[in-house]
Chains A and B, each alone.
Chain A
């Protein structure tokens, strides 16, 4: 295997994965009540197709996608729908959002779905449609409905599939554990996705600090014996696993700023997404569970759990021996981009990759903010090659032209600039606050441009019609004159 590739920018951060990778993945007990938020994926909210009081089986669809960019929801336990009401939602930081609540009857009675023995027997379009039924979304954290992503690239030829196992954020280790223990599932999922996309090759990328995962994946690839798939190591430099950064590192080309990876012939899926596809196609299991890393000095026994979607986070903490006295904060995701949760009553959603029960020492508290001294540390680490120091200046003045020139919309909010800033300026927060202003400005300008274009083409059309009319009139007169003479 060749040496690890890397993209420009980024930071070497301490991984903090040792504690949670010591023990194998354990299966968490199914919850007494499962809470399923209806908007737990990117795009539009799902629409309930069950009523309160209805009995559901494990794996039975309970909400359908409302649009093309939406996803099915399935019952993660068997039991009775007891409520459809707002509940604390992890994707809202713990604030309530409309959810379906199911009471467990303890039977785990399954809703049977067909398992496909030979996925190559299905036409790619048929396979894509079938995958759409599983409610799978991007499990790396973005939560974009997988079927929509597949559809977006379906017409492209010579696609390269990129399977993202570069889990770059500190503390998160669920993908590494998945690759260590369920490598065959990942490889099978990748092959199914390749068939669904008619992709010509598949690159599975993982970081160079996960030797056990690399060995397991290599072994699984050898077992699969599919020459079109290969493994690539990327340097463990945050944010190596960012989609655009990973594509630049692996393929040496950049995704256009106003485009998608498919525009340069690449489609990227997370390893856990691939594994979920394999479970659905080969075993008929929709997305009702996922692997979640429970870690941080605020929890007694850090480890990875295989968790039913909808399990309250408090229950997972209990399974890991409960909180230690040092607990101060609760994060969903890693320490760089993760969201702080206000309450552990919130339930695991499809994109919950990690829960950090953080002690004060896990989190470096920010010092008081100083003015920017333009040191440029931020520009050096920015993986989008921006000048955060100049963006900050323009954000302070809310200079929209300046924000546009310095590429505010190209900021991926990875937090590298924040991390290195000696003036301790919360740059990402400022950029997030400024983005809606610039977005509104750009929308308004686009609308104005479209209106002007419409107006101008209307004038041009009217002038053309008038000219044609005049010409016809002229022609008639000429003919009349000729007749007269």
Chain B
């Protein structure tokens, strides 16, 4: 009897990039739910716009590059990029912001470099950075969390969508009345105005740990992140090193002057710390690839995040920190090759 042949191994695990990305998307659900609970349905509109734009941009790029459409569109990588970018944007940001940011992320940050697996920089963070540099005012005006009762009226889904698409609020609402800075932004501004830490934190924007509402969104992110760790989609090195170095910087500076510098818990539960540690810095394509390399890479992100937040021109620094460390990845990879079995030293 004759049989077909093929090289070994003859079995492989039924694991695919598509499966990995699907799990990442599911792990983002707690964050999305918490976000919607505290900041209204704006995120849902932003996510839908981002995903639609990402898929359209991906399809266009694949077409131009002569790649099989269905195969690559199904890998889910563009959807993850879109969701991460949407999570970074204010819920009522105008539609053209998320559309242009996502298109930039997919077309330039991803496909101009060669598509999936080839991008040197985290596409979602490239998209976000471009928007932040180009339209800082729009990106920094957030809705206050619902828990604060500042809003005169909660916007319905229809009103939210209408606001995003027309750029005009419903009658009787003014932008100034319903938007507020993020907690990180407020803290930075108030400290700059000469307030003490106690005075600054007395603002109703702040909760028990960090920014009110934000702390819950961050805890939801932590749940999703731990799920990723347990399902072995990500390894511990990047989240632990990033959060650890961020907390270490915060602890040192808090010990030096608690009146000027907030403590580690505030930093860990504010802004994009946890989203960055579990979902953004862990993008394997743009991260360092050995265990030691990942520790160095993520420690750098933590330190840079702290520096930008504390002394830089932007209230949060995760996006720039990630992109700066993306630059360093080829160098880190070159110097962190592990020792090989039977060799005395590392190559």
What is A's interface to B at a CB cutoff of 8 Å? 93-94, 170, 244, 248, 254-259, 314, 323, 327-331, 335-344, 358, 362-364, 366-368, 370-377, 379-380, 383-387, 389-390, 405-407, 410, 415, 418-424, 426, 428-429, 432
Contacts and interface: CB of A to CB of B under 8 A. Distances in A.
A342 B5 contact: yes
Interface string B254-273: 00000000000000000000
B79 to A, nearest CB: 15
Contacts of A94: 5
Interface of chain A: mostly helix, strand, loop or mixed: loop
Given A387-B289, A410-B342, A340 B6 contact: yes
Given A342-B5, A374-B284, 4 more contacts: A373-B20, A405-B337, A406-B337, A407-B343
Contacts of B133: none
B152 interface: no
Contacts of B75: 370
Contacts of A367: 16
B313 interface: no
B5 A341 contact: yes
Contacts of B118: 371
B116 A370 contact: yes
Most buried by B among A341, A363, A407: A407
B9 interface: yes
Interface in B312-333: 333
Given A410-B340, A423-B117, A376 B289 contact: yes
30 contacts: A244-B342, A254-B342, A328-B3, A329-B5, A335-B9, A338-B8, A338-B10, A340-B3, A340-B4, A367-B16, A370-B16, A370-B116, A371-B116, A375-B20, A375-B284, A380-B235, A384-B342, A385-B339, A385-B341, A387-B337, A390-B333, A407-B347, A410-B341, A410-B343, A419-B11, A421-B15, A422-B16, A422-B17, A424-B12, A424-B16
B338 interface: yes
A444 B11 CA distance: 37
Question: Top 10 A-B pairs ranked by shortest CB distance?
Answer: A415-B9, A371-B117, A257-B342, A340-B5, A407-B340, A384-B341, A335-B10, A375-B284, A429-B7, A422-B15
A331 B10 CA distance: 9
Given A244-B341, A407-B340, A418-B12, A373 B4 contact: no
A218 B180 CA distance: 75
A380 B289 CA distance: 11
B6 A384 contact: no
Given A170-B11, A344-B1, A371-B115, A422 B340 contact: no
B116 A373 contact: yes
B2 interface: yes
Contacts of A327: 1
Given A336-B11, A385-B338, A385-B341, A374 B117 contact: yes
